[in-house]
Structure 1
Amino acid sequence: MSKPLVLITGVGDTTGAALVRRFAAGGYRIAMIARNAQRLAALEEEVEDAKAFVCDIGDLDALTDTLAKIKAQMGKPAVLVHNAVAHTFDTFLDADPRDLERNFRVNTTALLYLARALVPDMIEAGQGAIMVTGNTASHRGVANYALFAPTKAAQRILAESLARDLGPKGIHVGYVTIDAAIDVTWLGSEEERPSWLKPPAGWPWPREDYYAKPDAIAEEVYHLAHQDRSTWTFDLVIRPFAEKW
């Protein structure tokens, strides 16, 4: 129990898993939240001091219960990394309108629930960090993100509100915009991916240079969570060297 505790949501097989490994390397115990029990179990076996909590954070009652279990079994998190995401890659005419509410619940409302559950303990301790991973959709409305971008923009604004409130109380809130595709397995094969999620025709660099690397993303999140309080960053935008912006 002498090691600090970090709670990470959205522990998938790429960025989420990289975050778990990076914080473990930094001397943390890790409470991992995700829906996939098998994946969590494998990571729990691999990473010392990591404990799995299976939960769909879009189910807010289940999230509340899971947070209570984490506190009871592991103690009070010193750091929160909200990496879970619900997404829809389609236009407003083609997507199911119900996806907007689902995406909002996972991306934004869950962040509110997480903050309300964890922040009082951070305030009492006089320190803490809340890191949120975002993407390009949090800054602009992309046509095929019509039911996704509004929820990420709201997430970023909520994080900014938290930062303005909690900074003077010693709690660092940061938002990491990943302006890039991440080479995650759930995107499918290269042939299955839509054009905006794979290297364009004529890409002059190696294929891997098109994607943000999960380990590199995790390193930036970890760094942000451990900045000196005299130089805190709220908005951090990261992108591959060849990304157009």
Structure 2
Amino acid sequence: MPQALIIGAGDGLSASLARLLAREGYAIALAARNTAKLAELAAATGATAHACDAADPAQVARLFESAGEAEVVVYNPSYRTRGPLAGLDPAEVQKSLQVCAFGGFLAVREAARRMVPRGRGTILLTGASAGVKGYPESAAFAMGKFALRGLAQSAARELHPKGVHVGHVVIDGGIRSARRPETGEDSLLDPDAIAETYLQLIRQPRSAWSWEIEVRPWVERF
């Protein structure tokens, strides 16, 4: 049974992805700082739950040692702080960079160490509009997501020829959730639909690998 590791698991997109991959026959490992919130999802998908601070090198290394030989690794964590540049708290900006980008590096590094010797595997990094468009009063998040995108592009160019597929998914729009209900006709991204796109990336033939794909609601402006 192939294994999938989802880092930064919770409700929304990561939950949709866990359910879909479980239906597709994957053994699921879920990682989050707080595993208590994963109990229902883990029970529904037969997943194992692992406590992990995604920005801590030692914890990420232990996660990969305990989670098994994952064929698919998804990095989903984000941290956002808003406000005018002149008033931003440096500690909050640093946390955005640590969670959005440095944690992604740690996950890619650990995954590559295991996948490259096997000559196969898929690493998917969850991006955002902020990774291609810097919005006002969102400098910290833009910095983190731009860095994650650069990591994905560099890693893809290095690892694709070694048999490891690296993909960056730009989520360009709001994601529908209980906290963010639909207000129009498909005006928000359906997390189940996004999960289907991840599955398509996982299944891409290596003769036509994508390193990046954007998903957005049909009403979202480019």
Query: 1:57 is matched with which residue: 54, 59, 70?
Result: 54
Task: Indicate the RMSD between aligned Cα atoms, in angstroms.
Answer: 1.7
Residue in 2 that maps onto 1:42: 40
Task: Measure how far apart 1:144 and its partner are.
Answer: 2.4
For 1:113-128, list aligned pairs within 5 A: 113-128=106-121
Moved more, 208-217 or 144-153: 208-217
Secondary structure of 2:168 counterpart: strand
Residue in 2 that maps onto 1:140: 133
Letter in 1 for 2:3: L
* Structure 2 unaligned regions, length at least 5: none
Residue in 2 that maps onto 1:108: 101
Letter in 2 for 1:9: I
The answer (yes or no) to whether the contact 2:100–2:144 under 8 Å persists in 1 is yes
The answer (yes or no) to whether the contact 2:55–2:106 under 8 Å persists in 1 is no
Instruction: Give distance in 2, aligned partners of 1:140 and 1:160.
Output: 17
Residue in 1 that maps onto 2:154: 161
Q: What is the TM-score normalised by the length of structure 1?
A: 0.85
- Does residue 242 (structure 1) correspond to residue 192 (structure 2)? The answer is no
Letter in 1 for 2:122: A
Instruction: Give distance in 2, aligned partners of 1:52 and 1:149.
Output: 30
* Structure 1 unaligned regions, length at least 5: 191-198, 200-205
Task: Measure how far apart 1:25 and its partner are.
Answer: 1.3
Residue in 2 that maps onto 1:212: 189
- Post-superposition, which runs of at least 4 consecutive aligned residues in structure 1 deviate over 6 A? none
Instruction: Give distance in 2, aligned partners of 1:241 and 1:89.
Output: 27
Residue in 1 that maps onto 2:25: 27
1:53-102 CA-partner distances (Å, limit 9, x unpaired): 022213333222222222xxxx2111111111112233323432212211
1:125-174 CA-partner distances (Å, limit 9, x unpaired): 11111111111100121112111101100100011000000010111111
Instruction: Give distance in 2, aligned partners of 1:13 and 1:24.
Output: 15
* Alignment size in residue pairs: 222
Secondary structure of 1:181 counterpart: coil
Residue in 2 that maps onto 1:66: 63
Q: What is the TM-score normalised by the length of structure 2?
A: 0.93
Letter in 1 for 2:171: I
CA pair 87-229 structure 1, distance change in 2 beyond 3 A: same
CA pair 240-101 structure 1, distance change in 2 beyond 3 A: same
